[in-house]
Copies of this chain bind each other. A is one copy, B any other.
Amino acid sequence: MGETLETIRKAIRSNEWTRPTAGHAEGYVQTNLVILRKPLAFDFLLFCQRNEKACPVLDVTDAGSYIPALSAPEADLRTDVPKYRVYENGVLTSERNDIKDLWEDEFVAFLLGCSFTFEKALMDYGIPVRHIEENVNVPMYHTNLPCHESGIFKGNMVVSMRPIPAKDLAKAVQITARSTKSHGAPVHIGNPESIGIKNVSSPDFGDAVTIKEGEVPVFWACGVTPQAAAIASRPDLMITHAPGHMFITSLKDTDVTI
């Protein structure tokens, strides 16, 4: 828990660390990673821009560069993610701890904000985050909320759910609204069916969590959305982080809140 950014990045780079990153290098922004070849980069960046709640862009590399110059200039995106996934034509073909031998001059890497930033903010304000309390993955669901299309990229929004005590709802909205690079304010509060979720205790990804008496299910746009849209479009080659095995930037949470 008490690792410095330098220590944990070095451990990840040397493949000593291949575990999930949640709760580590606290205070530093963690991100989702999507790598595509240049010919798809404009349409994907535009997909993110058109659906920015689900796909908050934190940094995009210049074609061929594995250095995220704005968010972590001393990092190397070929080695500094604990676990990568390689998709060919939309099919997961391998998991690896580095992608040095796969790197191409045409690669463009997208770093997209994740929910860790706003979860820490919620907890700082004393609002419980159930899946962290229960030590499981956040529950995620397909919805009937269509994303704006861009080129080959399309799909419905995927959302994550956190049960929030009714008395804290307004506070939870205000706190997360400030984290615009971390999905921002909720997309829906209260009625799962109205966004196409039939059974909130049976998530499509992640794990179910307890909803206690007096709590309301609150739904936020989820970073799985762009990855799902990218996979569905079946690009020749796409590389992502493995779920939970995020890239840790050199940005502090406070850098992306204001």
Across the interface, do A62 and B148 meet the contact criterion of CB distance under 8 Å?
no
Task: State the number of copies, please.
Answer: 2
Contact A46 B70 (CB under 8 A): no
B41, B148, B150, B185: the one within 8 Å of A42 (CB): B41
Size class of the A contact interface (CB-based, 8 Å):
10 to 19
Residue from A38, A45, A150, A180 with most neighbouring chain B CB atoms (10 Å): A45
Given contacts A41-B42, A45-B45, contact A62 B180 (CB under 8 A): no
Nearest CB in chain B to that of A48: its residue: B49
Indicate whether A54 reaches chain B with its CB closer than 8 angstroms.
no
A contact residues vs B (CB 8 Å cutoff): 38, 41-42, 45-46, 49-50, 57, 60, 62, 69-70, 148, 150-151, 177, 180, 185, 258
Report 20 cross-chain contacts, Cβ distance below 8 Å, ordered by A residue. Answer: A38-B42, A41-B42, A42-B42, A42-B45, A45-B45, A45-B46, A45-B49, A46-B60, A49-B49, A49-B57, A49-B60, A50-B60, A50-B70, A62-B150, A62-B151, A69-B148, A70-B148, A177-B258, A180-B180, A185-B258
